[in-house]
Amino acid sequence: LAKTTQPISMDSYEGQEVNITCSHNNIATNDYITWYQQFPSQGPRFIIQGYKTKVTNEVASLFIPADRKSSTLSLPRVSLSDTAVYYCLVGDLLNAGNNRKLIWGLGTSLAVNP
Amino acid sequence: DVKVTQSSRYLVKRTGEKVFLECVQDMDHENMFWYRQDPGLGLRLIYFSYDVKMKEKGDIPEGYSVSREKKERFSLILESASTNQTSMYLCASSLQQGANGYTFGSGTRLTVV
């Protein structure tokens, strides 16, 4: 099973770009990488998902190298409201029976300072 | 937007009580999940369901059961609540093939005393 490792915490300032890396050395061929954001007293919220190379949406980019053993969530020009915990999730999302094998990271607590 | 609604934000129950946590989603998602979230342990999957009346054990099913009688509703049952089941419980749903990941509810913080 894939195991995911993320930094426990990060600090940044408003307007900076923040990159959070997740390590998943044992990622399997069918595994996707998904990132979530969680605010206190709320459920995690989907940010972005990818399989390889680069994916970009309106809020973030996801960089996945060719070996897929890590991934980097990039948040451009963060604001105070981006202060949250960010989770990396690795697993095969295409096969319902594999849902039990999805591996969550323990989360990276990002603090954005004025 | 997909909405996942959990019936209670906060619950306090006594040891030994039978506890029902209800979850409803409004976007016709096939998959539904129950997680618990504890500090230092992250999110752990309790049970999931990929169809009506279907259920699969997750990583920590002991002490829990689930019911999915209708596609939109997934209930988590604590047969006899214990203090070690004090936690944040999160319900989620997703499309069959997981595109765009999970949509989570706001969570139920359960305290067992």
* Number of domains into which chain A is organized: 1
Q: What local confidence, expressed as pLDDT, does residue A70 receive?
A: 96
| Structural domain includes residue A4 | no
How far apart are the CA of A93 and the nearest CA of chain B, in angstroms? 5
Range of the domain at B75: 4-112
Which tokens sit at B44? Answer: 């752990």
**Calpha distance B55→A87 (Å, rounded):** 25
Interface contact B42-A104, CB threshold 8 A: yes
Residue A67 falls within a domain, yes or no? yes
Q: Is B98's CB within 8 Å of A45's CB?
A: no
pLDDT at A96 over 60: no
A12: distance to nearest CA of chain B, Å? 23
Interchain CB distance below 8 Å, A43 and B92: yes
pLDDT over 70 at A2, yes or no: no
Residue B41 has pLDDT above 60, yes or no: yes
Closest Cβ opposite residue B106 in set A42, A102, A104: A42
What is the rounded distance in angstroms from the CA atom of residue B69 to the CA atom of residue B71?
A: 7
Q: Is it the case that residue B2 has pLDDT exceeding 60?
A: no
> What is the reported pLDDT for A31?
87
- Could you give phi then psi for residue B33, rounded to 5 degrees? -140, 155
DSSP labels, A95-110: -GGGGGG-EE---EEE
Higher pLDDT, B100 or B37: B37
φ, ψ at B102 (rounded to 5°):
-90, 155
What confidence tier does A1 reach under pLDDT thresholds 50, 70, 90? low
Average pLDDT over residues B3-7: 93
Give the model's pLDDT for residue B36.
95
Domain count, chain B: 1
* Residue A54 confidence (pLDDT) above 70: yes
Q: Is A76 part of a structural domain of the chain?
A: yes
Does residue A88 surpass a pLDDT of 80? yes
In a domain, A1, yes or no: no
User: What is the pLDDT, as a whole number, of residue B83?
Assistant: 97
Q: What is the reported pLDDT for B100? A: 65
- Of chain B, the percentage scoring pLDDT greater than 70 comes to 94
CA distance A18 to chain B (A): 22
Nearest partner of A34 among B97, B90, B87, judged by Cα:
B97
A23 within some domain: yes
pLDDT, position A92:
77
CATH number at B47 reads 2.60.40.10
* Predicted pLDDT of residue B99: 60
Q: Is residue A3 part of a domain?
A: no
Instruction: Look at residue A86 and tell me whether its pLDDT is greater than 60.
Output: yes
**Per-residue confidence (pLDDT) for residue B50, from 0 to 100:** 87
Q: Do B106 and A43 touch (CB under 8 A)?
A: yes
- Which of B43, B47, B60, B88 should be substituted to probe chain A, the one whose Cβ sees the most A Cβ atoms within 10 Å? B43
Please, which residues have CB within 8 angstroms of residue B50's CB and are 6 or more apart in sequence? A96, A97, A99, B30, B31, B56, B96
The two most distant CA atoms of chain A are separated, in Å, by 45
Write the CATH number for A18: 2.60.40.10
Mean pLDDT score across all residues of chain B: 92
